[in-house]
């Protein structure tokens, strides 16, 4: 029995519309988990790992003992709250501003143009380190992310991934794909993802040209991947073979319109330069598009939630059920004010970002 005094805890105010539980599976968007993430929180999880808000940095050579394990909480860490959904280029500007703000507060005149400068600055002025432990923490994380991007050739891999998904078909994209697949320096996990992305986007039975390309890709992958990985590709291909044919390929189709519409030491400046230069090149090639070449594809969750908020969600694709078990298809009501999104198999950080 609930005590009378506790009933208020469950006394929810009346709402103008009924809350909605939206249940999806990966058929709604199989691309997003395969693409390289470019927002701060998602990149930390992808390249370093986040376990219960804890990031383990102990594997970084020369890391300070106090930074071997750090906590990331948007409730306790204002900088992380402000930056977790920013892309890597925007993050570089934010970190630079953050560091300079603390530098100015100490009234110390120092040049902070690189990670090395900032590390020396923190070591030289221990009182600064106490004042801004967050600066050291986030600089260590950003530095490790930049190291991972360079070591694993993520800049080139991500650009090819994005182009494969949003372009209908370009010979240059295919040539770039083959170059990466043949490169022994590219990790096999990324080759596996690239192969799955191409199959998902371009696997159209009956098209001889594409069948030849698929066979060529599989032959190259067999030189690098294990039999288990090749078997996985075939299973993946079978599961999503009819993805575009049955109309479930709206994830890529919703993004088709996108194509028509220095010194490495200076990390903070380099991040923004990389993004800006790629965006400028993308604009010139694709009719002054304003899209970031690394984030051309927008997860389909964005489109679904937008349609739901405008009461325009396709009732044939997304069946609705009332709390009493009755079917509500064909009956319009006010759009829901509160939506709980549940994706079978798990949600990505990129999708979580769009739902906030």
pLDDT given at position 283: 45
Tokens coding 1: 């029995």
Split at pLDDT 50, 70, 90, the class of 66 is confident
Q: Residue 263 burial (CB < 10 Å; 0-12/13-18/19+)?
A: exposed
DSSP state of 295: S
Which has more pLDDT, 197 or 320? 197
pLDDT confidence tier of residue 261, bands split at 50, 70 and 90: very low
Kindly state the average pLDDT of the residues 58-65. Answer: 86
- pLDDT beyond 50 at 246: yes
Q: How high is the pLDDT of residue 209?
A: 75
State pTM to two decimals: 0.78
Task: Indicate the class that CATH gives domain 40-151.
Answer: alpha beta
Instruction: For CA atoms 289, 291, 297, 300, give the dihedral sign.
Output: negative
Give me the pLDDT at residue 138, please.
86
Q: What is the DSSP string of 177-215?
A: HHHHHH-TTS-HHHHHHHHHHHHHHH--TT-HHHHHHHH
Report the alpha-carbon distance of residue 128 to residue 99 in Å, rounded. Answer: 10
CA angle, 246 as apex, 243 and 249 as ends, to 5°? 45
Locate 293 and state its tokens. 């070449």
Q: Please say whether the beta carbons of 268 and 95 come within 8 A.
A: yes
Q: Where are the domains of the chain?
A: 20-27+299-355, 40-151, 154-254
Q: Place 343 in a pLDDT band, splitting at 50, 70 and 90.
A: very high
Q: Six-digit token pair at 301?
A: 């969750």
Predicted pLDDT at 42: 95
CA distance 295 to 219: 30
Question: Tens digits of per-residue pLDDT, 114-147?
Answer: 656 666 666 676 655 554 567 778 888 988 998 9
pLDDT tens for 200-227 read 888 755 566 788 899 999 999 999 999 9
Q: How much is the pLDDT for 354?
A: 87
Query: How many CB atoms within 10 Å of residue 347?
Result: 17
Among 248, 241, 179, residue whose Cα is nearest residue 25: 248
Lowest-confidence segment of 93-97, 141-145, 260-264 by average pLDDT: 260-264
The predicted structure's pLDDT at residue 161: 96
């Amino acid at each position: 029995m609930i005590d009378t005094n506790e009933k208020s805890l469950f006394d929810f105010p009346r709402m103008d519309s009924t809350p909605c539980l939206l249940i999806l599976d990966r058929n709604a968007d199989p691309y997003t988990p395969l693409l390289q993430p470019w927002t701060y929180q998602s990149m930390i999880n992808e390249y370093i790992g986040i376990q219960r808000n804890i990031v383990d940095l102990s594997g970084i050579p020369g890391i300070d003992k106090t930074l071997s394990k750090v906590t990331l909480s948007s409730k306790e860490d204002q900088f992380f709250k402000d930056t977790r959904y920013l892309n890597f280029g925007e993050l570089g500007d934010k970190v630079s501003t953050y560091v300079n703000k603390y530098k100015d507060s100490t009234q110390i005149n120092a040049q902070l143009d690189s990670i090395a400068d900032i590390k020396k600055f923190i070591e030289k002025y221990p009182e600064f380190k106490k004042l801004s432990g967050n600066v050291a923490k986030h600089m260590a994380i950003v530095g490790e992310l930049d190291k991972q991007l360079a070591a694993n050739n993520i800049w080139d891999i991500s650009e090819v991934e994005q182009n494969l998904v949003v372009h209908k078909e370009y010979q240059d994209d295919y040539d770039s794909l083959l170059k990466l697949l043949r490169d022994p320096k590219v990790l096999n996990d990324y080759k596996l993802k690239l192969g799955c992305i191409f199959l998902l986007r371009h696997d159209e039975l009956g098209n001889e040209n594409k069948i030849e390309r698929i066979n060529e890709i599989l032959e190259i992958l067999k030189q690098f991947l294990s039999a288990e990985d090749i078997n996985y590709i075939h299973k993946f291909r079978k599961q999503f073979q009819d993805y575009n044919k049955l109309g479930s390929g709206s994830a890529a189709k919703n993004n088709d319109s996108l194509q028509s519409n220095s010194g490495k030491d200076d990390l903070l400046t380099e991040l923004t330069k990389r993004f800006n230069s790629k965006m400028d090149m993308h604009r010139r090639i694709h009719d002054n598009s304003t899209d970031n070449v690394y984030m051309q594809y927008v997860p389909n969750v964005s489109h679904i939630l937008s349609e739901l908020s405008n009461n325009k969600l396709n009732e044939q694709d997304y069946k609705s059920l009332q709390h009493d078990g009755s079917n509500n298809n064909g009956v319009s009501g006010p759009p829901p004010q509160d939506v709980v999104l549940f994706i079978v198999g798990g949600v990505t950080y990129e999708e979580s970002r769009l739902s906030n």
